A and B are shown apart, each in its own frame.
Chain A
């Protein structure tokens, strides 16, 4: 018994195909975002940028989110709680994530 099927074990996903390497969303609340730019600076995947007119800039996701590993460095540095990756990344085939539950903040037990 294996968690990956034979077909999955043989299927190494194409990293230039967003249907096979699935980088999920980063959610930004434009109400809360004060355009401080720090998230665009710390994002290791470099998928964030500022947009809007000067003085009223907001963070947004660039055209592609390729490379976003849901590390949430953006969430960690945001003073206003305006930004967060809301799902982990995933792959089709050989690298399919296994045994993951909800994406969650630290829970106290």
Chain B
């Protein structure tokens, strides 16, 4: 029992710091201070969908993937794998496959394709309403609008970016591996922004999992599957002017009181 009490003795980390004399400095941030470089990168990053034709040098992409592997993950399980595609033909083949998927989905699910009052409108809408509760995230009005735009050639999947990074998830990851993929990709897109590159998250890349030929060519095999993709390239124009965004409710507990801030 004596051993147990030793094991449960909690040391005060600050006391240890003081004893060793190896005290770290606390960074003071004055109120209203200018944005630092990291904050600027975060605020200036937009989803870029128009790229210059110029290819990004390979070593720059390697740099992005280098910071990606330092992303935090649950239990340090690092449930990711990267597939980089820089061949126009191959990206076009993936684009074509996803367009095919979008055409199918649009036809079978987007009732906005059909005149109101028609049987197809009625039937498709009823089908969507039935599945809506089961698939509230996929059958959302916004992606459905995008799917139809892609099907009709008014929008693209991979935006003709010169480089495509596929983020594969190891389905055996700890806890919620998809979250780790999101955190990992955030390292990529922010590093890219800091290097003057534009990026866009492509969730529709998940469609590629349904293509046997695509998966074989890309080397996507169990237990991996495509979770997300990130397009990388040099943006057209200068899309770094700051923009307005929603503010969100912040519930703040302090001093025994609850406050709601925005």
Interface residues of A (CB under 8 A from B): 12-16, 21, 38, 41-42, 44-46, 66-67, 69-73, 75-79, 81, 84-86, 88-89, 91, 94-95, 97-106, 108-109
CB <8 Å contact, A72 and B243:
yes
Question: Which residue of the partner chain, among A67, A95, A99, A108, contacts B145 with CB atoms under 8 Å?
Answer: A67
CA distance A99 to B261 in the complex (A): 10
CB <8 Å contact, B248 and A91:
no
Question: Which residue of the partner chain, among A44, A78, A104, contacts B244 with CB atoms under 8 Å?
Answer: A104
> Would you give the shortest CB distance from A24 to chain B, in whole angstroms?
12
The stretch of B67-75, B93-101, B135-143, B162-170 that contacts the partner chain:
B135-143
> Is B92 in the interface zone, CB < 8 Å from A?
no
CB <8 Å contact, A73 and B46:
yes
CB <8 Å contact, B32 and A100:
no
Contacts of B243 in A (CB 8 A): 72-73, 75-76, 84, 105
CB <8 Å contact, A72 and B237:
no
Contacts of B112 in A (CB 8 A): 15-16
Q: Which residue of A lies closest to B139 (CB)?
A: A12
Contacts of B125 in A (CB 8 A): 14
CB <8 Å contact, B155 and A103:
no
Question: Among residues 140 to 170 in chain B, which have CB atoms less than 8 Å away from a CB atom of chain A?
Answer: 140-142, 144-146, 149, 154-155
Given the known interface contacts A16-B116, A46-B155, A108-B33, the answer about A86 and B244 at a Cβ–Cβ threshold of 8 Å is yes
Given the known interface contacts A101-B246, A108-B33, the answer about A42 and B141 at a Cβ–Cβ threshold of 8 Å is no
CB <8 Å contact, A109 and B238:
no
> Is B210 in the interface zone, CB < 8 Å from A?
no
CA distance A105 to B31 in the complex (A): 18
B42-82 Cβ-contact flags toward A at 8 Å (1 or 0)? 01101111100000000000000000000000000000000
CB <8 Å contact, B49 and A72:
no
CA distance A49 to B72 in the complex (A): 43
Given the known interface contacts A71-B47, A76-B46, A106-B43, the answer about A95 and B244 at a Cβ–Cβ threshold of 8 Å is no
